[in-house]
């Protein structure tokens, strides 16, 4: 008999947002469904989720809604309904926490890590799938691994509604020839920087010279990327409640903004909404950021650290300093504002300012 040991399971709900919408409207089952923005492809918005039927037409998350509508002209396009998805997600997470001996680390609406001790992780994973389906009518895929990285990557091979095990024993066999972008934590920008050094595959990243990685990414991130290529890292599932580093809001303008006064007013409105989110946290703001997308689609991010403050006016003034850096007379497609907050440990280590502003 195989002895029980500690495993990491990554639970990922299949086409979550689209699946929730199909539960609300059973007549949509089997049809291409796209969820994004206000459900209007003539407006500027992006795809939040596409059903598998819509993905067959090449529709994917993050794609402009108007392009998605052209790719799948018969698709049903629905507006985002965040409260409904949040409620469905909470039901799933409650179900996961009810599993025997499970430690649950929530990653988002539709995914979580489970730390479990078992002699048969596949059987445990199937019981998780059955429990989630019975309670919520939602299907999920489960990746099984001996580290968080391997469990996360394993899920891709289990989709849809299946399981897959990825450990030190088969990591290189399964992942070695994959492009680096297939790794959790490697996006298009990082993969391009790696490619500039001739590092194209997971195997090449796993055996890359640390000196090369350090020179490109720094003394901390360089070795971390090498570790990622080997699938190594933590195997500890942490159920400590997630604490937001900050809050942000953004808006895509249906018509490009050029007028300076309109841009400044849009920034003020966003700051007000961000501060509504921040005030409930009870932590000082320590930095502000501005996301600017010029027409047709060039994005710039500006950030600025500030002395810890609870003062609304200070946050507004510091944000408007970033607004002053927006290129004049250049059409603006999107504007976003973010406020970074001190983390709880930071507040304990240093002086916490008075809360007179809030």
Give the 3-state DSSP-derived string for 263-297, with helices as H, strands as E and coil as C. Answer: HHHHHHHHHHHHHHHHHCCCCCEEEEEEEEEECCC
Q: Which two tokens stand for residue 38?
A: 């206000």
Of the candidates 46, 15, 29, 34, the one whose C-alpha atom is nearest the C-alpha of residue 74 is 34
Terminal Cα-to-Cα distance of the chain (whole angstroms): 61
Is residue 61 within 8 Å of 48, Cβ to Cβ?
yes
- Could you tell me which residues come within 8 angstroms of residue 265 by beta carbon, excluding any fewer than 6 positions away? none
Q: How far apart are CA 269 and CA 135, in angstroms?
A: 41
- Total Cβ atoms within 10 A of residue 152: 22
Task: Give the active site residue among 21, 53, 111, 340.
Answer: 111
122 catalytic? Reply is: no
Q: Under DSSP, is residue 324 helix (H, G, I), strand (E, B) or coil?
A: coil
Task: List the catalytic residues.
Answer: 111
């Amino acid at each position: 008999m195989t002895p029980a040991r500690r495993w990491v399971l990554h639970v990922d709900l299949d086409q979550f947002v689209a699946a929730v919408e199909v539960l609300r409207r059973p007549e949509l089952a089997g049809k291409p469904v796209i969820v994004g923005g206000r459900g209007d492809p003539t407006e500027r918005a992006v795809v939040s989720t596409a059903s598998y039927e819509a993905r067959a037409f090449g529709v994917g998350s993050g794609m402009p809604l108007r392009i998605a509508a052209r790719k799948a002209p018969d698709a049903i396009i629905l507006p985002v309904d965040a409260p409904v998805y949040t409620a469905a997600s909470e039901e799933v997470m409650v179900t996961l926490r009810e599993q025997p001996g499970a430690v649950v680390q929530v990653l988002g609406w539709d995914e979580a890590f489970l730390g479990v001790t078992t002699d048969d992780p596949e059987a445990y994973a199937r019981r998780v799938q059955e429990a989630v389906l019975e309670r919520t009518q939602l299907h999920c895929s489960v990746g099984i691994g001996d580290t968080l990285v391997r469990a996360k990557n394993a899920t891709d091979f289990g989709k849809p509604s299946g399981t897959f095990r990825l450990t030190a024993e088969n990591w290189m066999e399964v992942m070695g020839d994959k492009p680096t972008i297939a790794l959790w934590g490697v996006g298009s920008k990082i993969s391009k920087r790696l490619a500039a050094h001739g590092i194209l595959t997971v195997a090449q990243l796993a055996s890359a010279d640390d000196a090369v990685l350090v020179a490109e990414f720094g003394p901390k991130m360089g070795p971390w990327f090498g570790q990622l290529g080997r699938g190594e890292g933590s195997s500890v599932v942490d159920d400590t409640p997630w604490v937001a580093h900050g809050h942000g809001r953004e808006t895509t303008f249906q018509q490009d903004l050029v007028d300076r006064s309109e841009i400044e007013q849009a920034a003020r409105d966003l700051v007000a909404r961000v501060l509504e989110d921040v005030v409930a946290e009870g932590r000082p703001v320590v930095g502000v950021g501005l996301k600017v997308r010029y027409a047709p689609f060039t994005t710039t991010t500006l950030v600025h650290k500030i002395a810890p403050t609870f003062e609304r006016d200070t946050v507004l003034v510091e944000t408007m300093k970033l607004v002053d850096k927006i290129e004049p007379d250049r059409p603006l497609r999107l504007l976003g504002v973010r406020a970074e907050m001190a983390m709880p440990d930071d507040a304990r280590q240093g002086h916490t300012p008075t809360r007179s502003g809030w």
